[in-house]
Amino acid sequence: MSESVYIAGAFEHPTREAPNKSTMQLHADVAAGALEDAGVPKEAVDGYFTAGVPEMEHSLTPLMAADYLGLDVAYADSTDYGGSSYISHVGHAASAIRDGKCDVALITLAGRPRSRGQATGSGVRKLRTVQDSYERIYGTTNVTMYGMAARRHMEEYGTTSEQLAEIRAAASHHAQYNEHAMYRDPVSVEDVVESPVVADPLHLLDCCVISDGGGALLVISEDARSELDRECVEVLGHGEAPKHHDAGRIDITTTGAVESGERAFTEAGLGPEHVDYASIYDSFTITVLEAIEDLGFCKKGYGGTFVADGALRADGELPFNTDGGGLCSNHPGNRGGMTKVIEAVRQLRGETSPEVQVDADIALAHGTGGSIATRHGAATVILGTEGIS
């Protein structure tokens, strides 16, 4: 049996709009927050993980960030799968710890798209990658790409706008109990389908918020755990999968969650039936729908009927995103993976609002970073209350 690895600290920046702070300052804020949450001194950090500091043109991310944060680490990793990066980082930190490369791994995310007026979902962005020349030149944006995925899912499986809307409605039901959530007013299925169409068939309320902020996690070894007087959660399994355009054979109704979920469940020795709470990356409602099917929470194509029955609500079959998720609460840096892990940790430590607290021993956090309709990094972690393994 391999060494147990723990998440000892989790911190979500309370801000949703930070016009007077720098991005690196937010990294420092959340790093300090996670260390304080864990009760671990800064000098104990010997591993560092981050991705995609968006305000830097060059991408020497871990080096620049380690310099700014004053981190002298033995191990660093900057795997960048977009928004799901930080879920990957939990798994990579666990591997590095089990390899003896480090004992106390800090993961940080920060970004200020709201203050920078950067609605990444909606405008033509500068062509950067080889693929952009075949995709972005057509005015393809994140919302139109996810719109295409939603339409194809509707076409193949009969999914409806109302079923997608219930995902937002459930998230908003949870967000009303989160004092930091950007949108706290509950919305109905009707509210969602009657909101303006932004990329047919997706409506404005099918899309996540644009917010400033960040978050951090502290992943530690058994040795480091033994020195702490802090309720921790165990990292039970991790899996990831880049899913791509596949030379033109892409199927936009299916995500890399098929593989990442399978890998994470196998590592944990668990299955979807064991999951008490799930944080599912919700860049758009369709992102959630495809992920819960692909993770095995329902049969492929039946996500619509599954969610329409109220499964995602705190008192439902698969309580999800009890903080309100990216749809209602927070999507710092346009990257939603970090907050997914943080809310899963809160659930396992019993730290959420009582109205949405689940009796959870096993939690899953899943991310879909990049675009569901071209290429994305799927990453899944399975966490448990301490001693559950």
Partner 1 sequence: MDVWEPRPLPNVTPESERYWEAASNDRLLLSKCPDCDLVIHYPRARCPDCFTETEWTEASGDGRIYSYSVAERMEGWPEADLPLVVAYVELAEGPRMMTNLIGCDPDDISVGDSVSAVFISTEEDNIGIPVFRPD
Residue 151 touches partner 1, criterion: CB under 8 A: yes
Cβ 285 vs Cβ 167: under 8 Å = yes
**Residue range at the interface with partner 1 (CB under 8 A); choices 61-69, 180-188, 196-204, 319-327:** 196-204
Task: Return the residue of 152, 225, 274, 300 that touches partner 1, per CB under 8 A.
Answer: 152
> Minimum CB separation from partner 1 for residue 47, in Å?
34
- Closest by CA to 364, choosing from 254, 259, 264, is 264
Cβ 188 vs Cβ 172: under 8 Å = no
Task: Return the residue of 28, 69, 143, 291 that touches partner 1, per CB under 8 A.
Answer: 143
Residue 155 touches partner 1, criterion: CB under 8 A: yes
Residue 158 touches partner 1, criterion: CB under 8 A: no
Cβ 220 vs Cβ 97: under 8 Å = yes
> Minimum CB separation from partner 1 for residue 370, in Å?
14
- Closest by CA to 319, choosing from 294, 343, 286, is 343
Residue 344 touches partner 1, criterion: CB under 8 A: no
Cβ 10 vs Cβ 37: under 8 Å = yes
Element (H or E) spanning 216, and its range? strand 213-220
> Minimum CB separation from partner 1 for residue 254, in Å?
13
Total chain residues near partner 1 (CB under 8 A): 41
- Closest by CA to 231, choosing from 22, 54, 37, is 37
Nearer CB in complex with partner 1: 50/368: 368
> Minimum CB separation from partner 1 for residue 13, in Å?
29
Q: Which of residues 273-302 bind partner 1 (CB under 8 A)?
A: none
> Minimum CB separation from partner 1 for residue 140, in Å?
5
Residue 372 touches partner 1, criterion: CB under 8 A: no
**Residue range at the interface with partner 1 (CB under 8 A); choices 71-79, 136-144, 288-296, 319-327:** 136-144
Non-local CB neighbours of 312 within 8 Å, separated by 6+ positions? 166, 167, 170, 171, 288, 318, 319, 320, 321
Residue 202 touches partner 1, criterion: CB under 8 A: yes
Element (H or E) spanning 11, and its range? strand 6-12
Is 262 exposed, middle or buried (CB count within 10 Å of its CB: 0-12, 13-18, 19+)? middle
Beta 104-111 vs 47-49: how paired, if at all? parallel
Binding mask 59-98 for partner 1 (x = CB under 8 A): ----------------------------------------
Nearer CB in complex with partner 1: 41/248: 248
Cβ 94 vs Cβ 218: under 8 Å = no
Task: Return the residue of 109, 149, 218, 275 that touches partner 1, per CB under 8 A.
Answer: 149
Residue 140 touches partner 1, criterion: CB under 8 A: yes
Length of the chain: 389
Task: Return the residue of 40, 252, 308, 372 that touches partner 1, per CB under 8 A.
Answer: 252
Is 155 exposed, middle or buried (CB count within 10 Å of its CB: 0-12, 13-18, 19+)? exposed
Cβ 256 vs Cβ 275: under 8 Å = no
Element (H or E) spanning 224, and its range? helix 222-226
Q: Which of residues 106-135 bind partner 1 (CB under 8 A)?
A: 122-124, 127, 130-135
Task: Return the residue of 107, 145, 216, 232 that touches partner 1, per CB under 8 A.
Answer: 145
Nearer CB in complex with partner 1: 251/317: 251
Tell me which residues touch partner 1 (CB under 8 A). 122-124, 127, 130-141, 143-145, 147-152, 155, 197-202, 245-250, 252, 373-374
